Structure 1
Amino acid sequence: MSVIVEQLTKRFTTGGTPAVSDVSFHAPSAAITTLLGPSGAGKSTLLRLIAGLELPDSGSVRIEGVDCTHLPVQKRGIGVVFQSYALFKHMTVRQNIAFGLETRKQPRGEIEARVDEMLKLVQLEELGKRYPGQLSGGQRQRVAFARALAIRPKLLLLDEPFGALDSRVRIELREWLQSLHEQTGVTTLLVTHDQEEALEISQHVVVLSDGRVAQAGPPEEIYDRPATPFVASFVGGTSVLHGSVRSGRAEVGTLVVAAPQSAREGEAVQAFVRPHDIKIAKPAHGSNELTTGRVERLKSVGGYVKVLLKLPSGETVTVEVPRAEFDDLGVVEGDHVHADVRMAKVFLGDFAI
């Protein structure tokens, strides 16, 4: 069951800037498609348009080949999970899960069986009689998933479902969501600003910027082949360096990277370099070799060391070095080092992102 969005536009004020502007994409059947972007990119508005909680000014939404653009929410066959859980505090876990089935007037025996099935699916069999206030955040979110799935939706919509949870629980629930998706196979749209989350659990990613689609494709394509400077800067924690083309190569400060084939001599370029794609080395003792930059700051972060390298141009670049490798380097703050770029994404021109 796929979702096709075509030229969707939504304004909240007459003549105002669109929250969503001419958005088109295809969410594959039985896959997790993530709507990824910074705050204000239009992600949640787009999800609400697909859900039927908002109506577009123009464009269409097709679910399983059916034009649902103007159908009410209850006729779209969707389940929705919000960041805030939206559970009924006065109802037990079982009653929350049963709510959607009861509003659909299903027989009591079928409701009880389905609730039992959902509790087992979300691994909360022993907690059915508790109230939401007696559960942890992760448990409440699982109940929200169970309630959304109980009605057997054709489409599951997730609006920042892990946003209110601490980092450890977020990671646990990501893994749980992947397992849940493997069991159910329901087509899922996930909204997040967390690129790691998007790249880890999605089969398809739609990157949004200022209400428009910046790029859509498999996670590997988004990460390895960003189509625009915005995508290159947003995905992967890149440093942005400015320079120009010299002898067929892009020279950005004291770093040299491959230039696009269409580049002309002297043309301005911007290089987007990820922290793990730079290798640094300390010159041999007493060497007069020219160095790339100066180590401004060192910060140990778990299994790696973050190195802030300042280039002669005044620009800085962040380098991540595995801890064991860093210990062998013998680098301290203030040292001058060599830096080689393994990989960079270079765009022609000098522009604001």
Structure 2
Amino acid sequence: MSIIVKQLTRRFSPGGSPAVSDVSFQAPAGAITSLLGPSGAGKSTLLRLICGLEVPDVGRVLIDGLDCTALPVQKRNVGVVFQSYALFRHMTVRENIAFGLNVRRLPRDEVEARVDEMLRLVQLEALGSRHPGQLSGGQRQRVAFARALAIRPRVLLLDEPFGALDTRVREELREWLHELHERTGLTTLLVTHDQQEALEISQHVVVMSEGRVAQAGSPEDIYDRPASPFVASFIGGASVLRGHVLEGRAALGSLALSVPAAAREGEAVHAFVRPHDIKLARSVSAAGAGERTPFMGRVERFKPVGGFVKVLLRMPSGDEVTVQVPRSEFEALGVVEGDAVRADVLTASVFVGDYAI
């Protein structure tokens, strides 16, 4: 069951800037689609428009071909999981899961059977009699998933469901969600600002910026073929280098890169380079060859971070570039702050024109 959004716009004050502006996309049936973007991009507002908690000023929402734009939330048959769990503290786990079923006045034996099924699905069979206060954060979020799934929703909507959890639990639940989706095949829409989360578990990604869709596509398309300077800078934490077109190449100080065929001589260019797409060397002979064009930089500072070292390079132009180097590789280089190094750019995204980054 796909979710189709057509030209949705929502303002919270007359004449004010829209929280969501002319948004259109399709979440494929049976896939996890992530709404990815920085805070304030309009992701949660868009999710609330889809589930019926907000009403659009303009546009339509279709779920499985049915126009749900004017339907109240209880008639859309969607399961929703929020970051805050939203569990009833005075109810047991079983009672929380059964809540939506009881509201729908299902027979008692059917409710009990469905609750048992959901407890098995989320692997909490032994905790049905506990209250939310007796559970860990990860367990509470699983109960929230079970309650959302118990009503047999047509689609599952997740609003930053792991945002309140620590890193280890978040990673565990991310893998658990992947396995849950494999078992259920339920069309899922996930709001997140976590790039790794979106790229790891999604089959489709919608990148949002300032209430609009910046790019939509597969995780590979979003990462390898960014459609705009915003997407290139946001995905992967790229550094930006500024220059101009010179003799058909992007001239960025001592660095020269390929440019789009239509680029005109003298036009401004921006190159976006991710930290792990640069290889450092102490000498020219140690660097790569072929199409990879190196530049010289000076080590401003560096900091070990786990198995990697984060290195800040300053180019002669004054631009700063962040490089991520495996710790053993950095130690073998033997460089210190202030040393000049050669940086071999493995890949970069180049855009022509003046942009506010």
What is the TM-score when the length of structure 1 is the normalising length? 0.97
- Partner amino acid, structure 2, of 1:195: Q
CA-CA distance at 1:345 after TM superposition: 0.4
2:180 aligned partner? 180
Q: Deviation digits for residues 67-111 of structure 1, max 9, x if unmatched?
A: 000101111010000000000000000000000111111111111
Measured in 2, the distance between the counterparts of 1:31 and 1:291 equals: 42
- Partner amino acid, structure 2, of 1:312: P
Measured in 2, the distance between the counterparts of 1:241 and 1:331 equals: 23
Measured in 1, the distance between the counterparts of 2:231 and 2:193 equals: 13
Measured in 2, the distance between the counterparts of 1:155 and 1:351 equals: 38
CA-CA distance at 1:327 after TM superposition: 2.1
Structure 2 contact 284–342 (Cα < 8 Å) conserved: no
Measured in 2, the distance between the counterparts of 1:28 and 1:202 equals: 11
Q: Deviation digits for residues 118-143 of structure 1, max 9, x if unmatched?
A: 11111111111110001110000000
Measured in 2, the distance between the counterparts of 1:174 and 1:234 equals: 21
Unpaired segments ≥5 residues, structure 1: none
Structure 2 contact 30–185 (Cα < 8 Å) conserved: yes
CA-CA distance at 1:291 after TM superposition: 6.6
**Structure 1 residue runs of 4+, over 4 Å off?**
none
- Partner amino acid, structure 2, of 1:66: L
Measured in 2, the distance between the counterparts of 1:283 and 1:213 equals: 44
CA pair 93-350 structure 1, distance change in 2 beyond 3 A: same
2:320 aligned partner? 316
1:330 aligned partner? 334
Measured in 1, the distance between the counterparts of 2:253 and 2:161 equals: 42
2:35 aligned partner? 35
Measured in 2, the distance between the counterparts of 1:118 and 1:106 equals: 16
Structure 1 contact 242–350 (Cα < 8 Å) conserved: no
Residue 45 (str. 1) matches residue 49 (str. 2):
no
Structure 1 contact 270–348 (Cα < 8 Å) conserved: yes
CA-CA distance at 1:252 after TM superposition: 1.4
1:254 aligned partner? 254
Q: Deviation digits for residues 310-329 of structure 1, max 9, x if unmatched?
A: 00111100011112222221
Measured in 2, the distance between the counterparts of 1:152 and 1:271 equals: 47
Measured in 2, the distance between the counterparts of 1:65 and 1:91 equals: 36
1:163 aligned partner? 163
2:127 aligned partner? 127
Matches within 5 A, 1:292-307: 292-307=296-311
Residue 266 (str. 1) matches residue 266 (str. 2):
yes
Tell me the SS of whatever aligns to 1:292: strand
Measured in 1, the distance between the counterparts of 2:98 and 2:53 equals: 22
Measured in 2, the distance between the counterparts of 1:78 and 1:14 equals: 30
1:219 aligned partner? 219
Tell me the SS of whatever aligns to 1:220: helix
- Partner amino acid, structure 1, of 2:347: M
- Partner amino acid, structure 1, of 2:156: L
Measured in 1, the distance between the counterparts of 2:295 and 2:216 equals: 40
Matches within 5 A, 1:1-353: 1-283=1-283, 292-353=296-357
Q: Which moved more, 1:253-262 or 1:1-10?
A: 253-262
CA-CA distance at 1:258 after TM superposition: 1.6
- Partner amino acid, structure 1, of 2:326: P
Tell me the SS of whatever aligns to 2:355: coil
Structure 1 contact 257–343 (Cα < 8 Å) conserved: no
| Root mean square deviation of aligned Cα | 1.3
Equivalent pairs, count: 349
2:290 aligned partner? none
CA-CA distance at 1:247 after TM superposition: 2.1
CA-CA distance at 1:260 after TM superposition: 1.6
CA-CA distance at 1:284 after TM superposition: 7.4
Tell me the SS of whatever aligns to 1:18: coil
- Partner amino acid, structure 2, of 1:334: G
Structure 2 contact 255–295 (Cα < 8 Å) conserved: no
Structure 1 contact 294–334 (Cα < 8 Å) conserved: yes
Structure 1 contact 292–311 (Cα < 8 Å) conserved: yes
Structure 1 contact 256–341 (Cα < 8 Å) conserved: no
Structure 2 contact 308–325 (Cα < 8 Å) conserved: yes
- Partner amino acid, structure 1, of 2:45: T
CA-CA distance at 1:256 after TM superposition: 2.1
Q: Deviation digits for residues 152-191 of structure 1, max 9, x if unmatched?
A: 1001000000010011111111000000000011100000
Tell me the SS of whatever aligns to 1:91: coil
- Partner amino acid, structure 2, of 1:342: L
Structure 2 contact 8–23 (Cα < 8 Å) conserved: yes
